[in-house]
Structure 1
Amino acid sequence: MKLSVIIPTFRDWQRLSLCLHALEQQSWSKNDFEVIVANNDPADHAPDDLCNDLTIQVQVIEAHQKGSYAARNAGAAIASGQILCFTDADCVPSVDWLTNIARHFAESDSCQLLLSGDVVMFSEHHPDYQYNFAESYDFFFGISQKDYAARQVACTANLSMHREVFDSVGGYDGRLFSGGDVEFCSRAVKAGALFQFDQSCFVKHPLRHTFKSLLVKSRRVIGARIQRQGYIKSIGTLMPPLYRIVKIAQVDTVPWGLRLKGMASTFVIKAAQISEYVSLLLKLKKAENR
């Protein structure tokens, strides 16, 4: 069984290097998978030594159309594997990630399998539960694959599928800059894909540790939501973040200090979302596409 690991990247070579070295350590045979890196900023060339000490098969291609989903499509277009495994440049796959993925596909009777794996959030800068304000917010609302799986959707930080699933629905919507993974999963399941979630197929993902990075993501999400749903259906953006405050308060497995930081940060993010919504509504700016 041949697996193709597809990784979009945008000016993040240092973290990509960590991801590639984690793939180098996979328990799955190096001969049975390839790695395709889709560089979404062709003007920013890959470092010459990116693959110097790697023995896995890595190919770096240029993805000229803006957006990570367009980059994923570019990578999938040249992939040779029967199974497409998507992750992100800032993710660190567990050592048995590909082995566990391959086991699922080998055991499945379906040729339309869509497999979601877990995403474990961690801080690159602080011990567990001693996060700063930005990290505290991302801890609660960054990526929750288990919650997504209940809706039969997943983020592309950890999503694998039969090649047939990808091809049958025409891949990701390359026009989107956020939410394209959820939109893809919804189309695929509607078309007959068998959705599964496995916690053992996990990757680690760093918490965003600055408000700048959180705000870029929040603005991008709002723009994509308006693009998909329109302004009227996105009007909830203007509502107070009461649901999120209650959700944080109910997480009684973490210290109150962390929860209070998350609550405070929620108001900062909400203010940025409202500002973005109003700015786009009044045509004061274009939608965020970073």
Structure 2
Amino acid sequence: MSSLNSHNKDRLINDKYSPLVSVIIPVFNDAQRLQICLEALENQTYPKHLYKVIVVDNGSDPDEDIEGVVAKFGQAIATSESLPGSYAARNKGISLVQGDVIAFTDADCIPAQDWIEKGVKHLLETPNCGLVAGKIETIFKDKEQATPVELFESITAFPQKQLLEERHYGATANVFTFKSVLDRVGIFDARLKSHGDVNWGRRVFAYGYKQVYADDTCVAHPARYSFTELYKRTIRLAGGFYDLQIRSEPSVFKQNLIFCKNLIKHLIPPLMWVYTALIDKRLNTIEDKMKVSLVMFFVRYVYAKEIIMLKLGSNSARE
């Protein structure tokens, strides 16, 4: 792999080579934000003839008209995947890839104009590169009147650099990789509705590939606005973690032990989280700090409730 990257780097420097890139976007009932995402991808600095956007409709309602939205953009094609879950949808996109490089983002993200160019550059310049995780910047509906949930997301959502360095994965809202890496380590676990990026990223790391954080490879992601939106995200993440543990640990005894540890952790008041919010300089006022602290309690106990329901036989949520 390192010799391939070295060769690609030399050719890129000599302006003789740029790889074909496939951008994969799963979407479920989010046509409005998908259109904004595709608008951002339509006029990238990367050569138009060298990238294609594959939009995978994961069972959206017919009135969303995902195909109609995609048809407006020359760089994009539409396909579908009936198996619920964004990782199943990403796998369908992977099956249609025809280039060397694959980029992942989400329908609610807004890639920077040079997103593809910068992501490819980091891939090619890093020997034995398995993945590049780019920056995910949260944005507000109204900077002057941010909701408590938006403030919470602004300091907690998508810490890509930390995720990569400490947990060896990047959120698939902004990840680049080589098709050859996927061929070797495998595709996503389609059974997971969340944490599939954790599972895949750790496999990439286990195979000895280098993982790179790229601050200049940026997408914007709207912060969740309401407690309803945050509730949905929290139960999805709880379900993804629960499913991942069940899949990775065959021993029922150890599964139960992990469950108990996780439950106890989430029943304990999040005092360390609150302390972190109180000293975080990104929160300008005491009022903002207190709002975020209350949201932290909400997230902690919603998570605890959800893993109890899963243990009692509920199915993990897809959104």
Q: Structure 2-normalised TM-score?
A: 0.84
Mapping for residues 1-290 of structure 1, pairs under 5 Å: 1-41=19-59, 43-44=61-62, 46-47=65-66, 49-51=68-70, 53-56=72-75, 58-110=76-128, 112-123=129-140, 125-127=141-143, 130-151=145-166, 152-229=168-245, 230=255, 231-235=259-263, 236-256=265-285, 257-283=287-313, 285-290=314-319
CA contact (8 A) 2:55 2:70 kept: no
What's the secondary structure of 1:90's corresponding residue? coil
Of stretches 270-279 and 172-181 in structure 1, the one that deviates more from structure 2 is 270-279
* Structure 2: distance between partners of 1:150 and 1:93: 23
Task: Count how many residue pairs are aligned between Structure 1 and Structure 2.
Answer: 285
Q: Any gaps of 5 or more consecutive residues in structure 2?
A: 1-18, 246-254
What's the secondary structure of 1:252's corresponding residue? coil
Q: Which has the higher helix share?
A: 2
Q: 1:197 to 1:203 in 2, by over 3 A?
A: same
CA contact (8 A) 2:164 2:213 kept: yes
What's the secondary structure of 1:224's corresponding residue? helix
Instruction: Give the superposed CA RMSD.
Output: 1.7
Structure 1 ranges of 4+ moved more than 6 A:
none
Q: Deviations over 1:56-100 (max 9, x none)?
A: 2x1111111110011111101111120010000000000110111
Q: Any gaps of 5 or more consecutive residues in structure 1?
A: none
CA contact (8 A) 1:35 1:59 kept: yes
Q: Structure 1-normalised TM-score?
A: 0.92
The alpha carbon displacement at 1:191 in A equals 1.1
- Greater relative contact order (CA < 8 Å, ≥ 6 in sequence): 1
CA contact (8 A) 1:131 1:258 kept: no
Determine which structure has more spread, i.e. the larger CA radius of gyration.
2
The alpha carbon displacement at 1:16 in A equals 0.5
Q: Deviations over 1:209-229 (max 9, x none)?
A: 011111111111112222222
* Structure 1: distance between partners of 2:198 and 2:317: 19
CA contact (8 A) 1:37 1:59 kept: yes
* Structure 1: distance between partners of 2:83 and 2:312: 27
